[in-house]
Structure 1
Amino acid sequence: MQLRKHFLLSFLALSSNVLADSVLFESNEYSSGALGLGPFQTFMSSPSTPAIWNFIVPYNESTSGQIEEGLILLAPRGTNVNSDGGLIYDKAGNLVWDGTEFGQTLTFKTDTYKGETVILMWSPGTILGSGVGAGYDLIINNQYEVIANFTADLNGTLADFHDIRLTSNDTALITAYQAKPWDLSAFNITNGWLLDSIAQEIDPSTGKAIFTCKSLGVASDHVNTSLCYASPGSSGTAEDNPWDYFHINAVNKDDLGNYLISSRHCHSIYYVGSDGNIIWNIGGMNSSVTMNNGTTFTWQHDVRWQNNQTQISLFDNEGTAWELDSSSSRGLLLDFDAAGNQVSFNKEWLPYNVTVSESQGNVGILDSGNTIIGWGQIPWFSEYDSNGQLLYVVQFGVGDVQSYRAYSANWTATPTTRPSVFVAENEFNTTVYTSWNGATEVVTWQLYGSTSDSPQLAIPLSNTTKNGFETIIPFNSSSTNYKYYQVAAFNSNEKIIAFSNFTASDGSSQGPAANQTVDSSSNNSTGSATPSSSAGLRSTVSPIFSTSSPLSSTGGALQNLVRLPSVLAALWIIVALL
């Protein structure tokens, strides 16, 4: 018995990077790197390998009611990430959508376009070592279809990854960078090159620029390089090695038609008119706005107007790779007094681990007043209540794992793909694994079986409540001869919204039957399976595993595992052999 226990523990340790639908709580093994530098999940019915969450500070019965409803959008990347790209999770840590097919991204958020909620994503072309990019901006609808694909309107210069925002007029605010020859003799550089930071307002339907603002062209001249806190170092010597003196990383447009632009390397926020001239600036070496106590920031990201242009939120990095200005980064909210030409401290959000995130990061103030902070280079995000009290903290990596920003958003989607099914069977039992990447409205899975003689005659077998990204449906098949299995996805209105293919344990499959149709035009869709699939059959079948909730926390790697279906079959074999 002791040998068996030792073998099982060893097996779980070896498998700890690939735990399907797993969430951990206060796991020292995770935080120490014992589970790998980028722990990830695998599934039987999907090739997805999303990062596993570790709730450093779980929410509990007293705080769970304060959590804002919605989903979490992350885009993990780094050398320790198994698969770079955009991921959507529910707030329990279960995967909802794997968008890594689009590749590595930095900006990844929801917004409104032509009255519909959409996903905005930067699609990579090139990410340079200097921390800028050249690629394309995508608008993706709630069926995960690309409905707009555009880039900068700058004679071949492509869009940078730092920001994409949509306006109420369905235009897009983006960033871009262009290398230009510049006199850098003051820095003992001959034949110098400077990196021009550019904000553009683009019509996504045409790709044409409506407005362009360049750091080397505002105020009828330029933002002088002497205002920069980042020296050229070894840069500035060639077109492919320009000096990034300004570093734009956020752009907003307000109701007056003016633009709020963040310059990380000048430690400044510029308010630029529609004519391209600077109206005022906050921070840096020559702030034209009076800054009261507690309002200083350095190396900032994600500058946003809040509360009808009376407040400004930002992620105050307080450091970069070559300089630390404080002991910790923070989220910061400033009160802006236009009449008095001053900003005052309103509140700050500090990280649980009190550390400096040297790059990236964001502050997302939600409708309830709660705030999501993405800690950028540090693979953590946190939610705070409206009073700034910490509600929970999630870690999604240990080593070189980062997410440019982290967002909480309401998102409803029905993919055009079919649900996926994987069938595992032995002499006595069949286990069906099912998932539907990106679907947000599935409540129940109904299982069907069919014989090889009648492969598309669906015989209803059971119902199982959806459980995480991948639901496990057990079935005692010892007295049946079903070759194919299929699932139907039901929504909260008990309507069928999708059918999977019929799938066999050998991987062969056939499409749904001709009479298996759904009305995809409405969330309250009606669907038909076969005459025998009556509502009276639909009694709930308890899942073979229960799913733990973030409302509780336990220590230890084995106690912290929510579910292990990806290694289930192997464990059965091991136990049987022992």
Structure 2
Amino acid sequence: MFTSLLLLLSLSLGTETWARDTPTPRRETPKPREDDFFHFVTRPDIRAPRWDVTRMHYGQALAPGYWFTPTYTYVDKKDSGMHVSASPNIYDDDGELVWSGGEVFHGNNVKDFKVSNIDGVDRLTAVYTLNNAYAILDDGYEVIQVVTPPRIGSVNLHDFALADNDTKALVLTQDRGLVPQEELANVGCDGEQFVHWPGFEERDTDTWALTFQWNARGHIRADETLVEADCARAAWDTWDALQANSVDKFPDGEYLLSLRHSDALYKISGIDGSILWRFGGNYSDFEFDNHFPGQNDARVCEQNETHTILSIMDATVRPGEPDKSNDPPRGMTILLNTASSPMTAQELSTFDHSNHIHGRGNMQPLDGGNTLLSWWDRSVIAEHSATGQLLLNASWAAQLQHSYRAYKYPWTGWPRTPPDAYAWAAEHQQRTEVYVSWNGATEVAQWQVYEVKDSKMYPIGTHKRQGFETLMTYQGIIKEVVVFALDAEGVVLGRSARTETDVQLNPKHPTIALAPPISEALVQQQERDPLHSSNVWLFWGAVSGTILVVFGVRAARRYRWGRPRKSGRKLDSLLKISEEA
């Protein structure tokens, strides 16, 4: 297949570029509105962002699967007065919510939320930024393992990738160290300056034992950066000169590292850690007629003895810098010829976005040939066909919220919690409304409602599922109900608890108290969660050497890679120190 692809490429007349529309100027971000977020009677604690979805070509099929979108930043709840939490979320192609994980992650930011096949089983994986940890969840949305770094401050939270047929996990790391004086002088500075030296580790997904580690110090120079140095920076302040944002592995056992502050990709030897080649930036080993400033999510697609195909997300501008190119952001596939002299690179395809959006993002090839792209800016998702047509474009209505990478995967969720039901009746109208939802259940096709009388159940109706929450209306006052979840074949998947109807005299709508602001809920959670509390102390320990000494041993015992944890629904129960530690 790969040889045939190369033959076709050799006969092609040039690079094919798709959907390159004229960019539109960036508009000011409006303030968020309550309507920008979902509101549910049965789950008032969930405030997941709504999507604005546009389908361009209904005649062409979208790839099967759901969107996996973690919240990267979130609305200032204090200023907006809204009860909005950050969370990883799952949506369908219509932008309808399927699962919200705010309860599991305590309303904190999560990155790189996706489906990962570990030990032959599909799991959910996420980077939990508050605790600098990698969480693994099962199909019941329970956290079954927490993988933590060996020492605080060493982890780079951009990426969690699998390699070698999903038997190895690749995670980014960073070390703080001084910039050599020669390299510092080359960027116009003198004195002492600390820098984050990027690196990565490879670990076995069965034992989480270390199988390979690498750091840029001694291999990549700090003056390869294309980000302007701040020479007035305090000596103790750390310069992010290179910044890694993805790591992948070649079939030949070498590694691919993306450093967005040098606009370059690096092939790294899996034997001695040496740099085998650079692609992009000021020291590229390839002849290439284009560039990809501030790139993200570099992945190895295919490789043979002479050629390699890579995919990258071209942000078209480095973070914090003005856009000078006026190029639209794009996903790219690139063919590298590593057998020629000099080595060459050629664009195979580009997937551009018509709106002038920028920021971190990713590019994901999908089953059947489609491609999904996402951007941090406006949380845009775009799905393209194999021929490059833009099939779907979606963005969060709340443009102050962003998502660091979005993915699409087939997924089947079997939540271990029961469905949530609420029944309400207006006495003067003699009408009962029953609301039901089941956070994360993907197989529910219909709901069957039973009236409870004298401890016996009587069926009163079956209704098609209508999105995350379904409303069913009945004449008369039904004092108590139970709701059953059925699949498409009528098989019972679960049932709600017995729910007494909230009978009210005159209101037009159910009166449901809003969930407390997430800031208050988080404070309460942190008071109960020893690890969250310890993070606060460890922060102050960075300022006070005495406190660091006192807590250092305890912290070291807490942050171990891959300690088996007791299964539980929330992260706090898995992040506590075990009695045996």
Q: Shorter-chain-normalised TM-score: which range? A: 0.7 to 0.9
Q: Once the 2 structures are TM-superposed, how far is the Cα of residue 231 of structure 1 from its aligned partner?
A: 2.6
Cα distance in 2 for partners of 1:140, 1:396 equals 25
Gap regions ≥5 residues in structure 2: 1-26, 77-83, 512-581
| 1:535 alignment partner in structure 2 | none
Q: Distance in 1 between matches of 2:509 and 2:116?
A: 42
User: Does the aligned pair in 2 maintain the 1:483–1:504 contact within 8 Å?
Assistant: yes
Distance 1:348 1:332, change over 3 A: same
What is the match of residue 278 of structure 2? 281
Residue 490 of structure 1 is aligned with which of 486, 500, 504? 486
Say whether the 8 Å CA contact 1:318–1:356 is kept in structure 2: no
Q: Contact (CA 8 Å) 2:154, 2:175: kept in 1 or not?
A: no
Q: Deviations over 1:156-177 (max 9, x none)?
A: 4453221001222522111122
**Distance of 1:45 and 1:377 partners within structure 2:** 31
1-side partners of 2:321 and 2:47: how far apart?
34
Q: Give the equivalent residue in structure 2 for 1:3.
A: none
Q: How does 1:296-445 map to 2 (within 5 A)?
A: 296-308=291-303, 310-319=308-317, 320-327=319-326, 328-340=328-340, 341-353=343-355, 355-357=356-358, 359-427=359-427, 428-445=430-447
Alignment of 1:6-405 (within 5 A): 33=30, 36=33, 39-46=36-43, 47-55=45-53, 57-59=54-56, 61-62=58-59, 65-80=60-75, 82-101=84-103, 102=105, 103-125=108-130, 135-153=132-150, 155-167=151-163, 168-184=165-181, 186=185, 187-216=188-217, 221-233=218-230, 237-239=234-236, 241-275=237-271, 276-291=273-288, 293-294=289-290, 296-308=291-303, 310-319=308-317, 320-327=319-326, 328-340=328-340, 341-353=343-355, 355-357=356-358, 359-405=359-405
Q: Aligned to 1:125, what secondary structure does the other structure show? A: helix
1:183–1:190 contact (8 Å) kept in structure 2 = no
Please list, as runs of the form range in 1=range in 2, the aligned pairs for 1:459-538 lying within 5 A after superposition.
459-478=458-477, 482-506=478-502
Tell me, what secondary structure is at the counterpart of 1:231? coil
User: Which residue identity is paired with 1:488?
Assistant: F
Distance in 2 (CA, whole Å) between partners of 1:284 and 1:364 is 24
Describe the superposition over 1:119-159 as per-residue Cα deviations: whole angstroms up to 9, x where unpaired: 11011227xxxxxxxx0011111111222211334x44453
Unaligned runs of 5+ in 1: 1-29, 127-134, 508-566, 572-578
1:502, 1:119 → 2: CA distance? Answer: 31
- DSSP-derived class of the 2:450 partner: strand
What's the counterpart of residue 529 of structure 2? Answer: none
Rounded Cα–Cα distance in structure 2 between residues aligned with 1:37 and 1:352:
28
Question: CA offset at residue 347 of structure 1?
Answer: 1.2
Deviation of 1:422 after TM superposition, in Å, equals 1.1
User: RMSD in angstroms over aligned alpha carbons?
Assistant: 2.5
- Secondary structure of the corresponding residue to residue 256 of structure 2: strand
Q: 2:61 is matched by which residue type in structure 1?
A: Q
1:34 offset after TM fit, Å?
7.9
Q: Please, which moves more after superposition, 397-406 or 419-428?
A: 397-406
| 1:569 equivalent among 499, 502, 509 | 509
Deviation at 1:188, TM superposition (A): 3.2
Q: For residues 225 and 35 of structure 1, do their structure 2 counterparts lie closer, same or farther at Cα, with a shift above 3 Å needed?
A: closer
Q: CA deviation at 1:377?
A: 2.2
Q: How many Å separate the matches in 1 of 2:322 and 2:28?
A: 26
Partner amino acid, structure 2, of 1:197: P
Structure 2 Cα separation of the partners of residues 37 and 342 of structure 1: 52
State the 1:462 CA deviation: 0.9
User: Does the 8 Å contact 2:124/2:137 carry over to 1?
Assistant: yes
Equivalent pair of 1:193/1:236 in contact (CA under 8 Å): no
Given the two structures, how large is their TM-score scaled by the length of structure 1?
0.74
Distance 1:247 1:505, change over 3 A: same
* Cα drift, residue 31 of structure 1: 9.9
Question: 1:181 offset after TM fit, Å?
Answer: 2.9
Structure-2 change in CA distance of 1:235 and 1:87 (3 Å): farther
What do residues 537-559 of structure 1 show as CA deviations (whole Å, max 9, x unaligned)?
xxxxxxxxxxxxxxxxxxxxxxx
Q: What is the 5 A alignment of 1:541-552?
A: none
Q: Distance in 2 between matches of 1:76 and 1:469?
A: 19
1:115: Cα distance to partner? 0.7
**Cα 1:48/1:383, change in 2 over 3 Å:** same
Distance 1:255 1:235, change over 3 A: farther
Match of 1:447 among 446, 449, 464: 449
Shift of 1:442: 0.6
| Structure with greater contact order relative to length (CA < 8 Å, sep ≥ 6) | 2
Asked if structure 1 preserves the Cα contact closer than 8 Å seen for 2:50 and 2:398, the reply is no
SS at match of 2:36: coil
In 2, distance between residues paired with 1:60 and 1:335? Answer: 29
1:43-89 deviation line (CA, Å, top 9, x unaligned): 0011211111112x334543xx3211211111233343722121100
Q: CA deviation at 1:395?
A: 1.6
Question: Which structure's residues are more often helix, by fraction?
Answer: 2
Matches of 1:440 and 1:111 in 2, distance apart? 18
Conserved? CA contact 2:114–2:126, under 8 Å: yes
Question: Structure 1: how far apart are the matches of 2:233 and 2:149?
Answer: 23
Change (3 A) 1:61 1:224: closer
Deviation string 1:281-323 (CA, Å, 9 cap, x unpaired) is: 21111111232x34x2111001011145731111111112124
SS in 1 for 2:89: strand
CA–CA separation in structure 2 for the residues paired with 1:321 and 1:396: 22
Distance 1:152 1:238 in 2: 26
Deviates more, 1:76-85 or 1:96-105: 76-85
| CA pair 99-109 structure 1, distance change in 2 beyond 3 A | same
- TM-score, reference length from structure 2: 0.74
Matched position secondary structure for 2:223: helix
1:550-561 correspondence to structure 2 within 5 Å? none
Q: Secondary structure at the match of 2:483?
A: strand
| Counterpart secondary structure, 2:378 | coil
